[in-house]
Amino acid sequence: MTKHRELHTGGRSYACTQCEKTFSCQSSLYHHMNIHTNKYRCSMCGKCCRKSYDLLVHKQSHSGEKLFKCNVCYKQFSTSGELVVHNRIHTGEKPYKCHVCDKAFRRSHDVSSHVRVHTEQKPYECPFCGKLFKTNKDLKQHVRIHTDAKTYSCRHCSGRFTWPVQLKTHLLKSHNKGTWFTCNICLKKFAMKGNLKKHLLRHEDVKPYVCSECPKCFYTAGELTHHQPVHSDYKQFCCGLCGKDFKRTVTVKSHFKICYAKRRFTNA
């Protein structure tokens, strides 16, 4: 019970000697060290897991197999743990609190990532462009801009994809697997519920995101983020092959593909 309470209070007295992560109990640290020793490494994407079971569950993400279904909205998940966390959306339960500002979260590791907001700590660095990130998850998503790795594979055909949403969309369009989210106004279909919510804002003509540099307003935070580089000469994204800098991720991604193809043709 004492160890469990530390999950809610933020007490973490066991520190990893290989990275900056800390844990509330010794057993968690013991399993975490398996990540650094590559004991349970995915042969498809190279991800290292803490336990053999975690590796088994992780491999399901490449196949798209989801065996656990929510009884409320029928959304499916790869693990029972993901389903438990998802159910908190329907119940409103947020059992994990930040010890600094009391902000509550549905998942324990969200607290660990959130705490860095108060410290501005960014311990994860991109090996391609040097950009820093607060969480390892953010870093992994960013690195795909440089590598364009396609780690998600369809279990019905040879299709491979960079992002989970691409795999989900493919399963819906090509194999009729999954559930579409349909707009009740124009009947447009979406693979992700979040994309439907953003789409509905356009029917309501609601633009809640305002640029701090000009009067322009936007429907989503992503559109605002894409717009903001217009007001700056700062180029934060770098091509890992030629070193050329870009303002936006979409630009550097397109350039990287062209740059990679040119180098491959030259070396052929």
Residue 97 domain-assigned (yes or no): no
Residues 47-63: b if buried by 16+ CB within 10 A, e if exposed: bbbbeeebbebbbebbe
Return the pLDDT at 118.
74
CA 228 to chain CA centroid, Å, is 22
Within a domain: 41: yes
For residue 22, tell me if it sits in a domain.
Answer: yes
Q: Which are the contacts of 58, defined by CB distance < 8 A and separation ≥ 6? A: 42, 47, 49
Give the pLDDT score at 186.
Answer: 92
Q: Which has more confidence, 78 or 195? A: 195
Nearest CA among 200, 164, 196 for reference residue 180? 196
Is residue 15 assigned to a domain?
yes
Q: What type of residue sits at position 86?
A: H
Mean pLDDT of 235-245: 81
Question: Which two structure tokens, joined as six digits, stand for 19?
Answer: 């990275």
* Angstrom distance (rounded) from CA 16 to CA 200: 45
Contact 165, 171 (CB under 8 A): no
First to last CA, the chain: 62
* Per-chain mean pLDDT for the chain: 81
Q: Please state whether the predicted TM-score (pTM) of the whole model is above 0.75.
A: no
Whether residue 4 is contained in a domain is answered as yes
Instruction: Report if residue 184 sits inside a domain.
Output: no
Domain with 30 in it: 1-57
For residue 96, tell me if it sits in a domain.
no
What is the structure's pLDDT at 6? 60
- Please tell me which residue, 213 or 22, carries the higher pLDDT value: 213
pLDDT score of 213: 86
Query: Each residue of 206-235: pLDDT tens digit?
Result: 888 888 888 899 888 788 888 888 888 878
User: Is residue 261 assigned to a domain?
Assistant: no
The pLDDT tens digits of the residues spanning 117-138 come to 677 677 778 877 777 887 777 7
Question: Does 11 have pLDDT greater than 70?
Answer: no
What's the number of domains the chain is made of?
Answer: 1
List the structure tokens of 64: 């798209």
> In sequence order, which residues have a C-beta less than 8 Å from that of residue 168 and are 6 or more positions away?
64, 178, 191, 192
pLDDT digits (tens, 9 = 90+) for 108-119: 777 777 776 677
Which position has the higher pLDDT, 152 or 120?
152
Neighbouring-strand partners of residue 66: none
Centroid of chain to Cα 37: 24
CATH number where 33 lies? 3.30.160.60
